Structure 1
Amino acid sequence: MKHACLSLFAVAALNTAAIAEDDWYPSKYGADDTKGAMNNLSPEATVKAAKLVKTGKVYALGVVTGPETPSWPGRSFSATVLQTNDGAGGSIGTGKATGHDDILMTYIGVGTQIDGFAHLGIDHRYYNGVSAREFYRSDGVIKFGTENILPTATRGVLLDMTKHYQQTPVKPGTAFTKADIDTAAKAAGVTIGKGDVVLFHTGWMAMAATDPKKFINEQPGLGKEGAEYLASLGVVMIGADTAALEAIPFEKADMPFIVHQTLLAKNGVHVLENIDTAALAADGATEFMFVLGQPRFKGTVQAVINPIAIR
């Protein structure tokens, strides 16, 4: 009996250790925090980022979004344009005003996008350990909606992984580690810091036009170790010119989207997908001012965006 009790205590201790090892909430920013790593934004960082603007060249980092945009299976985009008159000569007032309105029937997760904290979690718990039961509503989440993401004007850093690996594009399934990130950053002459937005250029976006199915189903990207490392540096967003940011095939087949879980749920770092980094990479850009003001659609878990880089 004594030995049986000791065995039970040993098992309990092991289970407790396992739980403690993966104890990811409450957040280091506070048990009630909803901002995540965006707590690292500051007026000082914005002023410092503005000093990076030397030429005034502006880059649109968002892709054109439409019915042909590659997207995850099941997602779709449809637009209907309506005339506000009969289209055959009718107009409004003596100024003969005419015009059009439009209706979008679309998944928000199509094209260039930002993932909010309600998008992906761990066993029905999301950022700061909040249960889906506390915020999920079919007509819009009541917590972590993307309308609450802070407006961002901060330093952006581009890591050109095609140079690091000497591959264009980088091979699918390649998972970026801490060592890869450090080496690429050193080559770029940048030090990644608190409040930064980090973007990866892999050359993979060209696949969207030539092989849309492959563009979605395979891709190089951030690995779990790399995600943990960047989160530890206090970055606020991480993105890439790929549809998922993380490497596919996944590092572990039985742990899909572990990078999303690591960033969104465990660390409160927003994920950016389908970022058009080609022009920045072509110009040899390594740091710039990054600006984002996402549409404030109430209760959405993702948002279609067009971030801006300014050099």
Structure 2
Amino acid sequence: MEDKTSVNSPNNAWGRWGPEDEAGALNLIGAAQVKRAAGLVRTGEVIRLAQPLSHKTPVPRHRSGLQHFMGRDGGDYAAGARRPGGFQFAEDTVIMPLHIGTHIDALCHAWCEEKMFNGYRETTMRSTSGATRLGVEKMPPAFTRGLLIDLVELRGRPMQPGEVISREDLQACLAVAGLGIEPGDAVLLHTGWLQAQAGNTDIDFNSEPGIDHAAGFWLAQQDVAIIGADNFAVEVLPFAEGTVFPVHQCVIRDFGIPLLEGLMLEPLVRTGRKEFLFVGAALPIVGATGSPLTPLAVL
């Protein structure tokens, strides 16, 4: 029998939504949050927060890049393919890692001490079928209030690789914007890292600005539903000495909060809006540890 014992501690959210829950902090987005978020729309402008995906989209060296193949194209007709009634079509296939470009981490993506979020065991991750628990298909779509926390504005410059975003930094940005975090919010962090990589063919994915464990824990205590950033890991890299992905462990494993990585935030920053309707839905790939997606900010 699977051991689902919860720590029953303020240090995690195991059991908060029941012993069989697989949605985690996205449970915090209920009807009230949806209606409130819809009320934030003023101009009707819709901004895409996703990177374009192509064979040029950078990935860490241990992952393969995107591969794009045409299954039917104009060349087939030039070579004599039938055109019934003059009709022609094209279609294609993409092979890519699921953690590429703008993507979201499922709750099965990271764990420690043999346990995932809500006490599910690592044995629920299978080589033949992927995750039998906490797969990305268990992740509800998000339609909620988005908050932009602009660290570039706070610093007066883009953040440097390895530079820490502290809890105090988050609080300072919110104070400047005159905003507070509410349960179910999607908090998006603007570090300037992604924009700084433009044209860089040798990106160091092991050195980037991001939140430390204390900042991640504080966000979890505020009952956020999603934490996103314009970098590749959300958390600062390299991590503090003696730790390994401490924010992933705290946020994903302990509190069931998905991380949204690789956001393209510059178009949103240029609008000056810090509060907006956020919309995002993962591809429901059964057993997957993450998914590319196209988050939207609706102003």
TM-score for the superposition, normalised by structure 2: 0.91
SS of equivalent residue, structure 1 residue 81: strand
Could you tell me which of 178, 200, 219 is aligned with 2:167?
178
Deviation at 1:22, TM superposition (A): 9.8
Could you tell me which of 279, 287, 295 is aligned with 1:307?
295
Q: Do the aligned partners of residues 258 and 213 (structure 1) sit closer, same or farther apart at CA in structure 2, a change above 3 Å counting?
A: farther
Deviation at 1:138, TM superposition (A): 2.7
Q: Do the aligned partners of residues 54 and 98 (structure 1) sit closer, same or farther apart at CA in structure 2, a change above 3 Å counting?
A: same
- Residue identity opposite 1:197 in structure 2: A
Q: Do the aligned partners of residues 21 and 232 (structure 1) sit closer, same or farther apart at CA in structure 2, a change above 3 Å counting?
A: closer
Deviation at 1:111, TM superposition (A): 0.5
1:264/1:270 contact within 8 Å kept: yes
Find out whether 1:91 has 2:90 as its counterpart: no
Deviation at 1:246, TM superposition (A): 0.6
- Residue identity opposite 1:264 in structure 2: I
Give the Cα separation in 2 of the matches to 1:27 and 1:173.
35
Give the Cα separation in 1 of the matches to 2:181 and 2:237.
25
Structure 2 gap ranges (5+): 1-6
Deviation at 1:202, TM superposition (A): 0.9
Q: Do the aligned partners of residues 25 and 268 (structure 1) sit closer, same or farther apart at CA in structure 2, a change above 3 Å counting?
A: closer
Q: Do the aligned partners of residues 216 and 82 (structure 1) sit closer, same or farther apart at CA in structure 2, a change above 3 Å counting?
A: same
2:36: which partner in 1? 48
Could you tell me which of 227, 230, 233 is aligned with 1:244?
233
2:14/2:254 contact within 8 Å kept: no
2:25/2:225 contact within 8 Å kept: yes
Structure 1 gap ranges (5+): 1-18
- Residue identity opposite 1:38 in structure 2: L
2:11/2:254 contact within 8 Å kept: no
What's the % identity of the aligned pairs?
28
SS of equivalent residue, structure 2 residue 82: coil
Give the Cα separation in 1 of the matches to 2:201 and 2:214.
28
SS of equivalent residue, structure 1 residue 217: coil
Find out whether 1:209 has 2:198 as its counterpart: yes
Deviation at 1:207, TM superposition (A): 2.6
Structure having the higher Rg: 1
Equivalence map 1:132-211=2 (5 Å)? 132-167=122-157, 169-211=158-200
Deviation at 1:174, TM superposition (A): 1.9
SS of equivalent residue, structure 1 residue 158: strand
Could you tell me which of 96, 113, 138 is aligned with 1:106?
96
Q: Do the aligned partners of residues 250 and 213 (structure 1) sit closer, same or farther apart at CA in structure 2, a change above 3 Å counting?
A: farther
SS of equivalent residue, structure 1 residue 280: helix
Q: Do the aligned partners of residues 50 and 66 (structure 1) sit closer, same or farther apart at CA in structure 2, a change above 3 Å counting?
A: same
Deviation at 1:25, TM superposition (A): 6.9
1:10: which partner in 2? none
Deviation at 1:251, TM superposition (A): 2.3
- Residue identity opposite 2:257 in structure 1: V
Find out whether 1:283 has 2:297 as its counterpart: no
More helix by share: 1
TM-score for the superposition, normalised by structure 1: 0.87
Give the Cα separation in 1 of the matches to 2:10 and 2:29.
27
Q: Do the aligned partners of residues 256 and 212 (structure 1) sit closer, same or farther apart at CA in structure 2, a change above 3 Å counting?
A: farther
Give the Cα separation in 1 of the matches to 2:21 and 2:191.
33
2:144/2:186 contact within 8 Å kept: yes
Deviation at 1:157, TM superposition (A): 0.2
Give the Cα separation in 2 of the matches to 1:65 and 1:43.
33
Deviation at 1:212, TM superposition (A): 4.4
2:106: which partner in 1? 116
- Residue identity opposite 2:141 in structure 1: P
Give the Cα separation in 2 of the matches to 1:28 and 1:83.
50
SS of equivalent residue, structure 2 residue 62: coil
1:269: which partner in 2? 257
Deviation at 1:289, TM superposition (A): 0.2
1:6: which partner in 2? none
Give the Cα separation in 2 of the matches to 1:246 and 1:179.
15
2:77/2:83 contact within 8 Å kept: no
Give the Cα separation in 1 of the matches to 2:224 and 2:9.
23
1:173/1:251 contact within 8 Å kept: no
* Number of aligned positions between the proteins: 290
Give the Cα separation in 2 of the matches to 1:182 and 1:136.
40
2:69: which partner in 1? 80
Deviation at 1:23, TM superposition (A): 6.9
